[in-house]
Amino acid sequence: MASAMRDDLPGWNAAAIMPHKHGTAAGVGLWAKIWIPAREAATCSRAGVGFGHCRGLEGEMRVRISSEEGTGQTSEPMTRSERKAPILGRGGLPSRRRCLQALGGLLALSPSAPPRASEAVPSLPSLRDAAASIGLRYGAAAHDYPPVFTPEYDRLVVQQCGLIVPVLNWSQSSPSPDRFEENTDKGVVAWARAKGLPLTGSHLLWHEAVPRWFAALSDPREARQAVIAHIHRSSARLARDTWSVNVINEALNPGDRREDGLRRDAFSRLFGNSYWEFAFHAAREAFPDAVLVYNDYGMEQEYGDALAKRAALLRRLDALLAARVPVDAIGLQSHLRLRERFNSQSFAAFLGQIAARGVRVIITELDVLDIGAPSAAGPRDAAVADMYRRYLDAVLSERAVTAIVTWGLSDRYSWLRPDFSPVFSRPDGLSTRPLPFDSELRPKPAFDAILAAFRSAPHRNIEARGGG
C-alpha cells in the first residue's frame, strides 16, 4: 500500500493503529499512524481488542490516516481537556472510546480507504507471474503453517507462489525402522496437491533430523540400506508432485576440521563422504523427474567461515561431477542479516563458478533478519527492502539461477522470532519484519523490491529436469 506518511516528526514516535477485523471500523479498512511524544516511549502492537495494544501511551497524540492512493492528513493536537482524559483503558489497553475519538472524526478525510488483505489480493501483482516472465520460479516455505490455511492466506499463497516447501523431517516420519508416518507435514502436501502447487525444498538427509535409531547404528551397510529405504519411501508419496528435492542439507562445516570439509555428524561418522554418491543415485531412481539439490547456508555474506565453505562446496561439487553423481543444482539458503555486509561482486562471482560447472542454482530459504534496523516500521522496512533488492540484483544477474524461494510469505509465519531462538530477539522487543507481506498479509516494501528485481532481471531458459 502506497503511503505518504512521514516517520520523521521531531520529538514524536510513530506507531501503527489498525482496525481489528471484528472492530467497529472493520468495514472501512482504514489504516492510521499515531505519533506519540518520544518521552513516553510507547510501544504499540496489534491486539485482539479495539485498535491496538499500547503500553505507556499517555498525553498528547496525533493521528495520520492514509488512503489507498497514499494521501495523508494529520489531525490537530488534542485539546487541553482531551489531554486530561486517560488514553489507557482497563488492563493497560487503549480504551475504545479514545481510539474512536482519535479516528472517528477523520474517516471523511480518506475517501478511498485501502481494502483489507482479503479484498486486496485480486488486484495485487503476482511474484509468481513476474518470475515466470523471465523463466524463473518463485515460491515460499510452509514454515509454521497451521494444518488448514485461513481463507485469506490460502488465496495469497495461491496468487503469489508457483512452488511451496513442505516441512518434512526423517526423524518425524520414521520414529522407528519399521514405521513410516505419512502425516507429519501438517497437511501442506495435500493442500499443495489440491491447489496444483509443485513441491520444492524437502530435506531427505539432514543432520538435525536424523532418527534416534539411525544415529545409534554402527554398521555402515545397515545404515546405507536405511538411507536408501527412506529416500524411496519418501518418493512414494512426494515424487509425482515434486519439482526439486534437497537430497542432502547442510552437510558442510569447515569448522569441524575434516579434510573434506564435511560436518562431523551421523552420516560422516558412518560413511565418510561416500554417502553423497549413493544418496544422489538413490534419489535419481526415486525422483526421476525432480531437480536434485545439495542445499546449505552461510555462503552469501562474508562473515564466519563463508569463504572457506564456498571453497569446500566447489571441491565437493567437482568430486561429485567427476564421479558422474547426478547433482542438478546447488541450493543456497540465503538467510540474510542486515548487520552483515553483502559483497555483490564477490557473491556473483561465486555463483558464476557454480554455473561454469554446468549446475543450476536455487535460492531456497530467502529472508532478511532486521536486527540492527530502526524500530520505526518505515525505515526498518526500507532497509529490509534494500537488502532484498541488492541481493536479488546480484543473484539474478547469473542466468543459472532458476528459482527463488522465500522462507515464508508473511511475517505472521516467520521463523525469525524469539520463541524459536533468542538470537532472533530485537533489542527493542518488536517482532521482526523479514518477509514480503506483513502479519496482516499486506505487501511491504520488500514485496516491491522482489517484484522490481524480477521485472528487471535477464531472461533465463534452461531445459532440464523439473521443467527449468
Reported as a single tens digit per residue, the pLDDT across 356-413 is 999 999 999 999 999 999 999 999 999 999 999 999 999 999 999 999 999 999 999 8
Residues 330 and 277 both lie in one domain: yes
pTM here? 0.75
Alpha helices in 331-439 (DSSP H): 344-355, 377-396
Task: Determine, yes or no, domain membership for 182.
Answer: yes
101 and 139 part of one domain: no
What is residue 468's predicted lDDT score, i.e. its pLDDT?
A: 52
Average the pLDDT over 257-269 and give the result: 96
- The per-residue pLDDT for 185 is 78
- The reply to whether 360 falls in a domain is yes
Q: Is residue 362 domain-shared with residue 445, that is, in the same domain?
A: yes
The domain in which residue 367 lies consists of 119-467
Candidates 330, 439, 325; CA nearest to 381 is: 439
Would you say the C-alpha torsion 422, 426, 431, 433 has a positive or negative sign? negative
Do 136 and 76 lie in one domain? The reply is: no
| Claim to verify: residue 123 and residue 86 sit in the same structural domain | no
Paired with 249 in beta bridges are 206, 295
The DSSP result for 45-103, as a single string, is E--SSTT-EEES--S--EEEEE-TT--EEEPPPPPHHHHHS-SB-GGGPBPHHHHHHHH
Same domain, 302 and 434: yes
Whole-angstrom Cα distance, residue 245 to residue 466? 10
> Whole-angstrom Cα distance, residue 410 to residue 142?
10
Asked if 422 and 390 touch (Cβ cutoff 8 Å), the reply is no
Domain boundary among 83, 114, 145: 114
Q: Are residues 58 and 183 in the same domain?
A: no
Residue 244 is part of a domain; what is its CATH number?
Answer: 3.20.20.80
Q: pLDDT, tens digit, for every residue of 145-173?
A: 554 568 888 899 999 999 999 888 899 88
| Residue at a domain's end among 50, 81, 114 | 114
175 and 87 inside one domain: no
Q: Has residue 4 been placed in a domain?
A: no
Q: What digits encode the pLDDT tens for the residues 281-323?
A: 999 999 999 999 999 999 999 999 999 999 999 999 999 999 9
Region 81-104: mean pLDDT is 40
